[in-house]
Structure formats: structure tokens, C-alpha cells
Chain A
Amino acid sequence: MVEHADIRVVHRGGSKINFRAPVISDDSRLLLCASGECVKVYSTSTEECVHHLRAHTDVVTGVVLRPSNHLQVYSCSMDGTIRLWDFTDAILIKTYVIGQPIYSIYASAQHNGVLFITIPMLNDKTSEMFHLVAVHLQQSTEQLVEARELSVVISHVSSNPAAIAFGRAGEYLASTKGLQLEVFFLKKQKSNRFSLKEENKKGRKNTFSCVTCHPTDDCIATGHEDGQIRLWRNFSHKKEYTYSTLHWHHTTVGSLCFTPEGTNLLSGGVESVLVQWRYNQDTQRDFLPRLGAAITHVTVSPDGTLFTTTHSDNKITIIRSGAKVSAVIQGLVKGESIETDLLIDPRSKALVMNGKPGHLQFYSLQRDKLMYNLDIVQQEYIYQSDLQQFEVVKAAFNSSGNWLATVEREQKDAELELNLKLWAFDDQTQSFVLNTTISAPHENRITALCFSPATDSQTTTVLVSSSKDGHFKAWQLAAHTEDEGPCWSCDFVGAYHGLVPSCCCFSADGSLLAVSFQEVVTVWSSASWELLTTLSQPPGDIRDLCFGQLSCSKYLLGTSTSNLLLCWNLLTCSLEWSTSMDISLLLADPLSENMAAFCSQSGYTHLFVFKPSEPRPIFSQKAVCSGKVMRAVFAPREEMLESCEESSQWLNRCQLYFLSQHMDLMTFTTKAEEDKLMDSSKQLVIDDTVAMTPFHLLLGKRRKEREEPQPAVSSPSAQRSSSSIRELLQTPAHVLPSTSYLCSMFVRSLLISVTDNREENNEAEGEMDSEKEEEDSEEEMDTRDTRPEQVSAESVSPALTKAQLRELRRLKKQDHSWLQGLLDP
């Protein structure tokens, strides 16, 4: 077993974007947020990710705009560095090494050259004590700067970045921890502490959850775990402080934020309602309800035109003032558990798993973007912490992607409510439409769900569900009824000696169904639903079942709780081979004979890729990640990889994605692939005046090419005709011949200029260049006029042929020169 150096495990996509509050650039065009080990720059209008700021080697814990330069940003990370970036071009400017993990970062406009960060009091990662320190950044030309000038400002602070806020004009700092609010006056170097009682009479918790300061007034707003917001005033005196209370939230206030003018206070919490309080008018408030999930951060852009709310479901909502949601940046939602397996939608090749409660998410792996959420439960989501919600627990696609089956479950005390839903793909709306709902398909939890592979389009697909109630059921698309379309109904109920079925699997041609009943594997004919045979094995319940694909379709593989990997030959109905391995997950590559087995051993997971027909594994990697791997999927590649190395050939058609125990989506890449990726990223040159959109990527290049030759081309004709027209127009009307006479001449002159324009241009170009300098001022006006029209023409019909484009360009030239003459005589 050799370690293959050219295959690497990498994080790919699906990173968190809701870890820290995002930052909006001064012009409100870009939004920066910490996402794993990098900072992502999004466009606020197009939701597209413009840049990745990559350099940190650990989780990025904070992003803050540089007060003195609005095009630069500081980011801090657990790796103990602060980095300064030019975020419009994604250039790393400077790195300040602190040497201790940094938990949050603050900057204030009044403190030039000073940053405030929270670091552990003891130089130890496990320490629970933090203090806020000021870092004085030296001016130096070097890239890497060792920042050693640290001075402690407040000790014993919370590591939560929402627990510290700068007050009006940076004069004081408000820090909360537990039941205590500490206000530190930076000039006087003195702090006032205010404590709240642990519990007041109604037994509510007074613990602080967040703090923010009014930008122009001496006022501190704090949020509490009981849903109250307190506005503290007069806190410069230790005894005579006052506070007023605002109460709307019913549970913890998640985030608080003042608008830049200080007229409004925004708050959000678990209710997923953004509440806008009028400052000094406590009774007035506006709501923006049903934002989708619990609000964790609220931020306002520096000019106050944009609000953003970050949600617990890995989502950033951008709200224009006027309470209208203008954009949603959605990341991959990873709930508490991935109940549905990782699936691949055969149509869009998107990764499908359960996301928001009651939804199924479609995530494009190639573009690292959430495509859409399919609402499975279709019920109003109630934001209440202890409420049992419907969850999507199982899902399955048929091989063509026309049908999607989902199972949703609600467990309430002892009652179990199950719904099996079947969704048909609608070509017109390009999404799934509910076809059949089967309530209570089984009496107990459904353990497995699978579609039979369609061998040709004519045969109807069969859905098999197995349940803990001891039955497995086959569902079939019933014939058309009179007024409704086809719908699904139960075709067969199977059981085997009252044992509980655990998994089911169809053979590659769909003729056999294997269902495991605890220790016994039963093989059924899918055409007649007859029990064909039972396969025996050493004792131990079956955990996973998998048929071989393509040339290995005569093999049935299974894993059992007695740590065995078993392979039966279905032609002889006997055990072909077995090995002793603790396999947590076994899955088959749909496009090749390969099988992947994740095997857990002493806290680590190893991967083996093998063919059922060959005893030796094709590929093995030890310690892929720590913990058990429970979910994995083979995602087919868009284009096949040309790899000649034997060890990485199994990755040619498919990519293997898996979820580690910590819910990180990871995959395997080969060296060749990485090189290719690097090349493509270098090619991507971005025009920084325009936000990056796919549309722009398509057209941007072509437009640039056009813009350059434009001035040279347009100049000669413009010059010539404008002079003649000017002459024509300046002559008094009464001395001119009749218009009918002039008109034909005028039109003819235009025609001539068109026909020989191109040849002339090419010849003239060389000499014109030199002459051009003096006319530049005039030309500039010309080109400025033409440009918008040109852009609009392109955007309307980007697919013009070359000849048409040439024609269009010619027409434009004379048109404008003529108009120019008319406009400024």
C-alpha cells in the first residue's frame, strides 16, 4: 500500500459564510465575508463571488475595513496573523504577525494605525480567558511585519465579536460578558462596570448577548437572552446611569446595529424577523418578517443604503433601505445532520441534500453555488427553539432525473408522521412539481429508498421503500385515471419472517432487488416480485448493500456489523470472497466498476477503491480524515480527465465527495487537475470598474477588443462628412437649391463614403495615428456618444455574425458623424 502523492484531499465548496458579520465596502458595491480560510468578496448587486482573498492558513475570524483607506481591508485569523488586502484586486498588501490566535478584530477611525484584537490571555488555544489588546502597526515597506507592540486595553472579555463595540467618535469601548457591561473610556483610561441581577422576578435571563453603540450620541444598546434590548445612557457616572428597555423579541437578541446616522436601531434574533426601531421613538418599529432562518448578524453599509442580515442557514440577505430584499447570497446549508444521503441530481449534476428545515437543496459543485431550494414540506416554518419540525429524511432520484422521491418525518412524542412524496420534473418550469403524496406509507421509520434503474425509457420505474415496520413496499406509477395524470400507488408489500429490512438495492439492469433483513440478504425478482434466493453469510447484521456495475454486475457486495466486507456471486449464489474490515460506508461508482469503501480504524478513516472482480485494491489512502465518514457520493465529471497514472485513473470519470465528521465537504483531486485549475484562475482577468457577472465575462473581452480600434476607424469619415454638412447648414436657406435636388446629392455622398470606407481606413490608419493628436479632443466626444449605443446593440443581440457586425459598425460611423455636424454647427 503506497501513499499516492498526486492525489490529495481538499476542501471544495460549501464553506460557511455566516461565521462572522460581513463587511460592506464604502460604495456599497462589494461585500466581504469570512469563509473558512479565506475571505470572499461578493458583489451586492449580482450575488456573484468576485474574489477569494486566500493566504490565511486557519479560520478567518474577522474582517474590518481600514478606516484610513476605504479600498483596503484587514482580516484576522486563528493562525495569528492580520493581513491587509486590496480587496478590489485581491492583492495581499501586508501581513502582521501576532503569534497568538486572534478571535476578533476592531478598528476605529479615530485611532490611526491602531487595531484592536481579542486574543487569549494565556498563550494557549484551550484557554477560556480573553483580553482586548491594541496593536500599533508600524509603518514599514516590508511585506511581512512582526507586530510586537501590544498593549492590553481590557482584560476578561468575551471572544464573541458582538460583545465589544466602539462608542461615539471612538471615545469609549463597551464590552459585555455574562451579566456585566464594562464601559472603558480610552482617554481617561478608566472603566465603569454595570452589573445586572442574575434573574429577575419572572425568571428571565438577563445575560448580555450583544452590544452596539450609537454613532453620534452617548448611548449603548445591549441585547439580552430574554429578548430585551436595553438602551444605556449617562454611563460616564458610575451611579447615575439610566437605561430604558425595548422589548419585542421573545428569545435571545442575536444582533444589534445602529444605522450610520443613528436614526434607527436594527435588531434580529431567532424569530428571523428584522426589527427596525426608531431611535428615541420607542413605540415605533418596522418589521421585515420571514427572512428564512435565525438572524445571527445584522450590518449596515457605511452609507446606510444597504442592510445585511446573516442567517444561521449559511445565508446573507442584502436588504435595500425600504425593506426590500434585493439579493440573497446562499451557501451550502448543513443542518445538524445530513439525513438524506448525499445525492447527485442526474439532470443538473448538482449535489442534493437536505438543507433548510423542510427543504432539499441543489448545490452546484462546479460553480460552488446553491442553485435552489426545493420546498418539500410546504409548510410555514415556525421559529421556535423547542418545536419539532418536519424534516426531509430520505430522497432518491431515478436514473434519468425525471422523478424525485422524498420522505419527510415528524416525530412528536411517540407519534410518528411520515409522508412519501413523489415529484415529477417539469420541463417548462425546470423544476420538480409534486405529483403524489402518500401519507403514512409505512408505520415506522423508513430505512432505505431506491428507484429501479430504467433500462430503457419505456419501462416504468419502480420505487422501493423499506421500513422498520418489517415490510418493504414497491411503488409503481399507476396508469392514467380519467381526469388526473398518472400517480403512484403501492404495487407490492414484501416481508421476510418478520425481520426488519435495513437496506435495499437494485441490480444494474433493474431485474433484481436485493433487500437485507438483518442477517439475511434476500434477492427478489422485480418483474414478478418472487423471492428468488436468500444469501447467507457469517453472523452479523447487514449494514450496506451494493450491486456491482457494468462488467461486475454479477457481484453483490455487502458489509456487516461483524466487520466483514462480503462479495457474493449471483450466478453461483455463493460467497465469492470476504475480508475483515470495519467499513462505515460502501458505495459504487455508477460509471465504472469501481467501488469505494470508507473504513474507520482507531479514530481515522481510510479509503479503499477496488473492483469486485479483483482482489487487490486499485487505490488506497490512509487517514483521509479524522472521525467516521458517513456520507459520500460519486459525482460524475463534466468532462473526462485524461490521466494515465494507474492510481488516479479511478478519478477520471467521477469525483468522490465526502462529508467528514465535522460536516466539511471534501473531495480528492489529482495533480493534473490542480494544475489545470491554477491555469484557469490566472487567465481570469477582471475589469475592476464593473462587477463580475457571467454576462460580463462573456462580453467583456470582446468589448475591449472593439474599443481600441474604434477611435482610429471612426475619425476619417467623421472629419470629411462633418465639414461638408457644416458647409451645407451654414449657407443661408434662400441661396440654396431646392431640397429635393440637394437630398439626392446628399444621400449619394453618403453611399459613396460607405463603400470604400474600409480600404481607406486600413490605409489611413497608419498616417492618421500621427495626425490624430490634435483632433483628440473632438474625437473623444464622438466616441463617447457612440459607446452607449454600441453597448446596447451588443447586449440586445450578442450572437451577430461577423458580417452583420461589420455592417453595424459602418452604419454607426456615418450616422454619428452626420449627427455630430448637426449638433454643433
Chain B
Amino acid sequence: MASFKPTKIHVYPKLGEKVTQDTLYWKNYKAPIQIKQFGAVSNVAFSPVAPYNFAVTAFTRIHIYGPFSQEPIKSFTRFKDTAYSGRFRSDGQLLVAGCEDSVVRLFDVGGKTALRMFKGHTKAVHLTDFTSDRYQIVTGSDDYSCRLWDIPNATELNTYREHTDYIRCGVTSKLNRDLFITGSYDHTVKLFDVRTDKSVMTMDHEQPVESLLLYPSEGLLVSAGGRFVKVWDLLKQGQPLVSLRNHHKTVTCLCLSKNGERLLSASLDRHVKVYNTTNYKVVHNFDYPASILSLALAPYDESIVVGMTNSVLSIKHKKSPSESKDSTSQQRRRPSYRMFVKGKNYIPKQDDFLVGKQVKEHLAKHDKQLKKFNVSKALDTALESWTRRRKPEVTVAVIKELNRRGTLKNALAGRDEQELSRILNFLIGNLVDARFTLVLVTPAEMILDIYRSIIGQSPVIDRQLLRLHELLERELDYQRELLEVLGMLDTLFASSLPRNAVECSGISGLVLRFVEREQCSETEIYQ
């Protein structure tokens, strides 16, 4: 006697992203805290010393937030116009910021008024940064020049006028006090050495450069501009290494994760992409509600701070280890070890007569009903709300099995309003799912056949049938459009490929068949 073979649940290829180590790491953040700012957030910078406060530059203000506070600890409001590029010095004591009014201001983090004002630029200053010896400041401006200032004297040390367009970004070397790099809208990235009056290296990004980033080793430089992110090898005379094109709008900001293993890029297309820095593949992706202008990661990836054009600052904190463990430990609660070994570790003696215990086979609820040939009940159990929502493939598998047994019609027939609406709900939810369509079209047609006579008796059912109808119409439109696209592609391929290539008419055939079938069921609804 063979045992009952349970219904085979088809394993569909998983949709959506695969769960990788990276996904787990980057998903391990709490829900974002959103703070409204006065204008678009143009820059976010973390203080390099504990407690890792961060400066947020938005409109005419710079706010400094603590790691967990939602209210600013400190605000710098003495700007005449829009402020830009508020950055901390490496000891976290001083903060420098450019401004639309071409004046560069230096603040003490503890004070309120500017310590120094550097005047010399003629247009808005978008780039300000400290050199690694902490005594000088590099600035870049829309007047095409970048300048080096001495902090104690507030005097201009040097001016470089090599760029031919706005300078919008730049970095200073953390290892060498004499080096800094600027990126400009003239598509070039230039490396300057303070000891000479000229740039020592020029790299052509081919797009207006929006952001620059140096690796901790400072051998590699990352530049972002247009839709491209490019990596350059500085030790090989600025040879391009990789060009990444994963965004579909301008990339505005770059940043590295804690140990330089991952590179993050933010773009106006509202996405933040995470790259693996060994193979430069995208390993994760964040979505934000608006175009992103600035992005910063706290040391040790404790939080991700993103500033957007809709003047919202979004802060995501990492889950503490206890929190992340809690959620999983609840699911893992299982019977104790003792429960499993109960009676199993008994070693029978020589004279013992062993009586085998029959292993009870466990069947799913719907299988139990199928085993007893209770077709309607099997369908009922498969349509229970949990199964229906969480595991639609189980419901679909049961419907398929009933259809194979030729009893689907019996199972669907003789239902009252409530039960029928449940089935229709499921159909509406899953009929256009490409994985289930082939199976679910049959019960949909059967329901129309069986219940044709009662159309008009129940407003609930009528509404659902109308919804089904709309759904099918929309789907038909989609398919038609797809077919058009496919036709275009076919002509493109046919003209571009050499003679003995194989035309793939498989997909279009499938779609056509689908369309035909949908039309059939549609006409039935009209009847």
C-alpha cells in the first residue's frame, strides 16, 4: 500500500532581489527618522571625532545634530545667502562653509559667530575643505578658481585658475598636506600640489563632475558626474579603472562604508546604490522618496544620513545587536532537545522484542481533504486567508490538482456569496501574475460558466466581476503594448544580427496566446 502523495507545490523562481550577506547588512537599519529643513539639503558631513555629530547644510543654515537627537544641537545661521559645503576639521573643533555670497566662513563648533571670513572669491563657493595639516583651507568657486587660505592669518596663499567652468567638488588628501583634488563642470578632475603652481594631474571625466572621493589608501579616486561613477588609479597617472553606469540620473554624492569595502553613490533618480569595491557590482539598493543631493555614512556605518531636494533629511540608524536578535529568536522557538531524544536513546537489550512504531505521516490540511476526495473542502482550506495571502502558490497548486482530477467544476460550484467573493478576490489578486495565469484562467472561465445565471443578483459579486473585467482590459492593453515593443525589437535584431542567427519568436507566441485567451474570457463577461 503506497502512501498518499501530497500535492506538489510548484517552486516558482523567486522574484525580487536575492538575499545576500549584503542585503542582510544593509537591511539591518531602523525605520528612517525624517527631519524637515528650510531648503534642499546640499551637504551632510560627519565630525571625525566622537560622538560623531554631523553638520547639515541646508539653505542659509548649518545645523549640527548629535548621533541620536532629532533636534539640532547647534545652528549656524549667520549666512547672508545659501550656504554650501559645511565640513569639519579632522579634530572636530572647526567647521568651514562656503556661501552663495562668495565669502568663506570658519566657525568654532562651540561658538556661534564666524571666527574668520575669507574674502576673495567673486562668485558662490561650493567647495571648502581643510588640508591635512589643519592650518589651511582649500576652496573652489563658481568663478573658476580655487584658492588656498591660511587659517591663522586669514590670508590667501595661492590661486589656481586652471578650470574653465564652475568648481563644484573636491577633496583634500588625508595623508599628504600638500595635495588636493578638485572637480569641475568643465568635465575635468585636477590634482594640485601646493608646492607647485600648477596641477600635476588631470583626468577627463567626460561629464560635469559633481562629487569626488578618495579611498583611505589614497591610491584610487572616485569621481561622479552625469550618470557615471568613475574610478581612477592615481598611482598610474590617473588611469581610468572602471566606469559605472547604474543610475539613470545625475549622481550627486559618493561615500565609502566603514572599511572601504563598499562604495555608495546617491543620485537624483532617488536611489542609493551600494557597490562592492572589489568587483564594482551593485550589491544593494536603497530607495528614497525624492532626489538625493547629499549622503553621508556615520563611522562604523552606525547611521545613514541622506539629504533630499524636498528639504527632508532622512536618518537611518543601525539596529542594535539585541534588537536584531530579538526578532529572529522569537521565530526560532522550538521544542527543547530533550523532546526530540525522548525514548530514542534507549538501547534495546538482547532479549527485548522490538515493536516498531508506525511513523505518522503529516499531511497539509488541503491534502487531508484531497485524500478523502472532499474537493470543495480542499479548495476551502487552500483559500484560507493566510495561505491565500502568504502562499498563493499553495492555493494555485490545489486548484491545479483539482483541475487534473477533473473535479474543479464540482469544487467551484454551489457556493454562496461570501465564498464566491473569496474565490473571486483571489482570482483578481493573482490572475495577472505571470506565474499563475495559465492555471487560474481555467477556474475563472468555470466560475463565469457556472454563475452566469446569477449575475445581477448580488451587488458584491457584480462589483468583483466588474473589477475582474477592468483588470483583464488593462492586462490586454499591456500585452498589446508589449507586442508592439517586441515587434520593434524583432526588427532591430533582424537588421543588426548576421544571417544565420536564430529568431526567437517564442515569447511573442506565448503573449499572443495569452491575449487570445483573455479575449475569450472577456467576451464571456459581456454576455
* Complex contacts, B405 vs chain A, CB 8 Å: 382, 384, 387
Interface bits A355-395 vs B (CB < 8 Å: 1, else 0): 00000000000000000000100111110101100100000
Q: Could you say which of B2, B6, B506 contacts A471, with CB atoms under 8 Å apart? A: B506
* Complex contacts, A437 vs chain B, CB 8 Å: 11
Given contacts A379-B5, A380-B5, A443-B510, contact A495 B503 (CB under 8 A): yes
Q: Which parts of A516-538 form the interface with B (CB within 8 Å)? A: 530-531
* Complex contacts, A410 vs chain B, CB 8 Å: 404
* B1 at the binding interface (Cβ < 8 Å): yes
* A411 at the binding interface (Cβ < 8 Å): no
In the bound complex, do residue A292 and residue B404 qualify as a contact, i.e. CB atoms below 8 Å apart? no
10 A-B pairs (CB sep. < 8 Å):
A291-B1, A291-B2, A379-B5, A382-B404, A384-B405, A387-B404, A439-B10, A443-B509, A471-B506, A530-B500
* Complex contacts, A381 vs chain B, CB 8 Å: 5
Given contacts A379-B404, A387-B405, A410-B404, contact A493 B504 (CB under 8 A): yes
* B370 at the binding interface (Cβ < 8 Å): yes
Complex formed: what's the CA distance from A434 to B8 in Å?
A: 13
Complex formed: what's the CA distance from A290 to B2 in Å?
A: 6
Complex formed: what's the CA distance from A581 to B406 in Å?
A: 46
Instruction: Give the shortest distance, in Å, between B375 (CB) and chain A (any CB).
Output: 11
Q: Which parts of B1-54 form the interface with A (CB within 8 Å)? A: 1-8, 10-11, 20
Given contacts A290-B4, A292-B2, contact A443 B406 (CB under 8 A): no
* B502 at the binding interface (Cβ < 8 Å): yes
Complex formed: what's the CA distance from A500 to B405 in Å?
A: 33
Told that A291-B1, A384-B405, A437-B11 touch, could you supply 12 new A-B pairs with CB distance under 8 A? A290-B2, A290-B4, A325-B1, A375-B5, A378-B8, A379-B8, A382-B405, A387-B406, A390-B404, A439-B10, A482-B20, A495-B502
Interface bits A432-462 vs B (CB < 8 Å: 1, else 0): 0000010100010000000000000000000
* Complex contacts, A443 vs chain B, CB 8 Å: 506, 509-510
* A289 at the binding interface (Cβ < 8 Å): yes
State which size class the interface on B falls in: 20 to 34
Given contacts A410-B404, A495-B502, A531-B500, contact A380 B1 (CB under 8 A): no
* Complex contacts, A292 vs chain B, CB 8 Å: 2
Complex formed: what's the CA distance from A443 to B500 in Å?
A: 23
In the bound complex, do residue A494 and residue B5 qualify as a contact, i.e. CB atoms below 8 Å apart? no
Instruction: Give the shortest distance, in Å, between B403 (CB) and chain A (any CB).
Output: 8
* Complex contacts, A811 vs chain B, CB 8 Å: none
* A697 at the binding interface (Cβ < 8 Å): no
Q: Which 8 A-B pairs have the closest CB atoms?
A: A380-B5, A290-B2, A495-B502, A382-B405, A325-B1, A290-B1, A531-B500, A387-B406
B18's closest neighbor in chain A, by CB?
A: A482
In the bound complex, do residue A290 and residue B509 qualify as a contact, i.e. CB atoms below 8 Å apart? no
In the bound complex, do residue A493 and residue B502 qualify as a contact, i.e. CB atoms below 8 Å apart? yes
The tally of residues in A whose CB lies under 8 Å from a CB in B reads 28
Given contacts A384-B406, A439-B10, contact A289 B1 (CB under 8 A): yes
Q: Which of B4, B404, B503, B506 has the most CB of A within 10 A?
A: B404
Mostly, the B contact residues are loop
* Complex contacts, A384 vs chain B, CB 8 Å: 405-406
* Complex contacts, A387 vs chain B, CB 8 Å: 404-406
* A288 at the binding interface (Cβ < 8 Å): yes
Query: What total of A-B pairs shows CB separation below 8 Å?
Result: 49
In the bound complex, do residue B500 and residue A290 qualify as a contact, i.e. CB atoms below 8 Å apart? no
Binding site for B on A (CB under 8 A): 288-292, 325, 375, 378-382, 384, 386-387, 390, 410, 437, 439, 443, 469, 471, 482, 493-495, 530-531
B406's closest neighbor in chain A, by CB?
A: A387
* Complex contacts, A375 vs chain B, CB 8 Å: 5
Complex formed: what's the CA distance from A79 to B503 in Å?
A: 64
Binding site for A on B (CB under 8 A): 1-8, 10-11, 20, 370, 401, 404-406, 500, 502-504, 506, 509-510
Complex formed: what's the CA distance from A390 to B11 in Å?
A: 19
In the bound complex, do residue A290 and residue B502 qualify as a contact, i.e. CB atoms below 8 Å apart? no
Q: Which of B1, B8, B504 has the most CB of A within 10 A?
A: B1
B442's closest neighbor in chain A, by CB?
A: A415
Instruction: Give the shortest distance, in Å, between A200 (CB) and chain B (any CB).
Output: 25
Complex formed: what's the CA distance from A379 to B406 in Å?
A: 15
Q: Which of B4, B6, B502 has the most CB of A within 10 A?
A: B502
In the bound complex, do residue A494 and residue B1 qualify as a contact, i.e. CB atoms below 8 Å apart? no
Complex formed: what's the CA distance from A390 to B504 in Å?
A: 29
A319's closest neighbor in chain B, by CB?
A: B1
Instruction: Give the shortest distance, in Å, between B360 (CB) and chain A (any CB).
Output: 17
Instruction: Give the shortest distance, in Å, between B314 (CB) and chain A (any CB).
Output: 31
Complex formed: what's the CA distance from A136 to B20 in Å?
A: 85
Complex formed: what's the CA distance from A73 to B357 in Å?
A: 41
Instruction: Give the shortest distance, in Å, between B399 (CB) and chain A (any CB).
Output: 14
* Complex contacts, A494 vs chain B, CB 8 Å: 502
Instruction: Give the shortest distance, in Å, between A411 (CB) and chain B (any CB).
Output: 12
* Complex contacts, A390 vs chain B, CB 8 Å: 404
Complex formed: what's the CA distance from A129 to B284 in Å?
A: 83
Complex formed: what's the CA distance from A462 to B401 in Å?
A: 33
Instruction: Give the shortest distance, in Å, between A383 (CB) and chain B (any CB).
Output: 11
* Complex contacts, B6 vs chain A, CB 8 Å: 380
A291's closest neighbor in chain B, by CB?
A: B1
Complex formed: what's the CA distance from A443 to B405 in Å?
A: 23
* Complex contacts, B500 vs chain A, CB 8 Å: 530-531
Instruction: Give the shortest distance, in Å, between B212 (CB) and chain A (any CB).
Output: 35
Instruction: Give the shortest distance, in Å, between B62 (CB) and chain A (any CB).
Output: 45
* Complex contacts, B406 vs chain A, CB 8 Å: 384, 386-387
Q: Which of B20, B406, B503 has the most CB of A within 10 A?
A: B406
Complex formed: what's the CA distance from A289 to B8 in Å?
A: 20
* Complex contacts, A382 vs chain B, CB 8 Å: 404-405
Given contacts A387-B406, A495-B503, contact A288 B1 (CB under 8 A): yes
Instruction: Give the shortest distance, in Å, between B296 (CB) and chain A (any CB).
Output: 32
Instruction: Give the shortest distance, in Å, between A377 (CB) and chain B (any CB).
Output: 9
* Complex contacts, B11 vs chain A, CB 8 Å: 437
Complex formed: what's the CA distance from A292 to B406 in Å?
A: 20
Instruction: Give the shortest distance, in Å, between A26 (CB) and chain B (any CB).
Output: 27
In the bound complex, do residue B10 and residue A380 qualify as a contact, i.e. CB atoms below 8 Å apart? no
B6's closest neighbor in chain A, by CB?
A: A380
* Complex contacts, B2 vs chain A, CB 8 Å: 290-292
Instruction: Give the shortest distance, in Å, between B411 (CB) and chain A (any CB).
Output: 14
* Complex contacts, B370 vs chain A, CB 8 Å: 380
B400's closest neighbor in chain A, by CB?
A: A417
* Complex contacts, A530 vs chain B, CB 8 Å: 500
Complex formed: what's the CA distance from A482 to B20 in Å?
A: 9
Instruction: Give the shortest distance, in Å, between A292 (CB) and chain B (any CB).
Output: 6
